[in-house]
Chain A
Amino acid sequence: MASVNSIYGLFADPDAADRGVNALRHAGVAQDQIVVMSSEPHEGHAFSLLDHKTIMPWLAALGGVVGGACGFLLARYTQVAYPEPLITGGMPLVAPFPSAIVTYELTMMGAVITTVVTLLITARLLKWKQPLYDSEISYGKILVGVLGPSGAARTDLENRLRSAGAEKIKTTGQL
Chain B
Amino acid sequence: MQFFVLAVTLVVLTGIGFFFGRSHALSSVSGRARNLHSLPDYYGWYLALWCGLPSFGLFLLWVLAEPYLIDVLVINQMSAVLPDKWAGSSDLILNLVQSLAAGHTVPGEATPALQEAADHYNALKKTSFAGLAAAMASLVAAGLAWGLRQITPGLRARNQVEKVLRWLLVASATIAVLTTIGIILSLLFETIRFFQLTPFWDFLFGLSWSPQTSIRTDQVGSSGEFGAIPLFTGTLLVTFIAMAVAVPIGLMSAIYMADYASPKIRNIAKPMLEVLAGIPTVVYGFFAALTVGPFLRDVGMATGLEVSSESALAAGGVMGIMIIPFISSLSDDIIAAVPQSLRDGSLALGATRSETVRSVVLPAALPGVISACLLGVSRAIGETMIVVMAAGLAAKLTANPLESVTTVTVQIVTLLVGDQEFDSAKTLAAFALGLVLFAVTLVLNLVALRVVQKFREQYD
Chain A partners chain B: no
Residue positions of B touching A, CB distance < 8 A: none
Residue positions of A touching B, CB distance < 8 A: none
